[in-house]
Amino acid sequence: MKAWILAARPKTLPAAVVPVWVGAMPMLLDGDSTTGSWLLFFCTLASCLCIQVATNLFNDAIDFDKGADTDQRLGPKRVTASGLLSRKAVFGGALGFCALAALVAIPMIQERGWPIVAIGVVSLFFAYGYTGGPVPLAYRGLGELFVILFFGLVAVTGSYFVQTGEWGSPAIWLLALQCGLYSTVLIAINNLRDREEDSGTGKRTLAVRFGEKFARWEIAAIGFVAAFLMIPVGILAELNAMFSSVAAVALGIVQFIIVKQVFETEPSEKYNAFLAAAAKQLLFFAVMISIMFALK
């Protein structure tokens, strides 16, 4: 069981939880009991978590096939490369979580119809296509773009659509972008940590393509832009202006602490702690947004 928990990469799961919460929360916290559905929220959350775990398992098995996980790895142990689980078992587990994601999505499909099917099919395809298939995104330097699109725009607006049957106002789309950017901080830190290993195994992430200096400034820019977006999100959604500003400053301070550590530390196992801090930052962002909407 410990090997499967390790393979699921629980520290990455906030990237699946937060977009669903952020997308559904405007309807669940609006003070109107007739809007929003907790059942649909939990179905959305369960489906997204299953897709996230499936993506992690596919990644574990496919990176093993490509020889991308080596003895020099600085990140957490990978179960296929280390022999804790067989490649067949990990790949089968990924397919099982894909099936489970489709199963728990049935209430959403019944409520909202074919758009949910379309989102689900594309999401399941990229759960594999992130590291597998003819054009693996993670190996082409497209990982950050993928995260912004799927852990931001698709996940947030999709979760809002599940609740309302609508794709949302400009405020929701900007909120989705903000969420995607915060999730991208995670992968950018991960790619900077693994730059040396990835460069030797053919994994052409942005950190490999453009170097450490670029990767550090990428992390800084993405996170600070995300923090600043708290202000226009507050304005467009007609939220409490004072709290929006305070939240932007608070998130900016958290981002500054993470960036300072990244700039002062060479890529090493210490980056695992920075990743944990970035995951907490993502959760902190969700809390700030929730308070803002609750105070509306």
Other C-beta atoms closer than 10 Å to the C-beta of 73 total 17
Give Cβ neighbours of residue 179 (< 8 Å, ≥ 6 apart): 18, 19, 22, 151, 152, 155, 156, 285
CB 168 within 8 A of CB 161: yes
Helix, strand, coil shares, percent, the chain, to 5: 75, 0, 25
- pLDDT digits (tens), the chain, 296 positions: 788 999 999 888 999 999 999 999 999 987 777 788 999 999 999 999 999 999 999 999 998 887 766 666 677 788 898 888 999 999 999 999 999 999 999 999 999 999 999 999 999 999 999 988 888 888 989 999 999 999 999 999 999 999 999 999 999 999 999 999 999 999 999 999 999 888 887 889 999 999 999 999 999 999 999 999 999 999 998 888 888 999 999 999 999 999 999 999 999 999 999 999 999 999 999 999 999 888 87
**Which CATH number is 2-294 given?**
1.10.600
CA distance 62 to 218: 27
Report the distance separating Cα 75 and Cα 272, nearest Å: 7
Enumerate the domain spans of the chain. Answer: 2-294
Tokens at 242, concatenated: 């004072």
6 in Cβ contact with 77 (< 8 Å): yes
Per-residue pLDDT, 73? 66
pLDDT of residue 72: 65
Please tell me the pTM assigned to this model.
Answer: 0.93
What local confidence, expressed as pLDDT, does residue 37 receive? 94
Residue 193 has φ and ψ, to the nearest 5°, of -60, -40
What confidence score (pLDDT) does residue 203 get?
87
The pLDDT value given to residue 223: 97
Quick one: pLDDT at residue 116? 96
- Indicate the residue type of 113: G
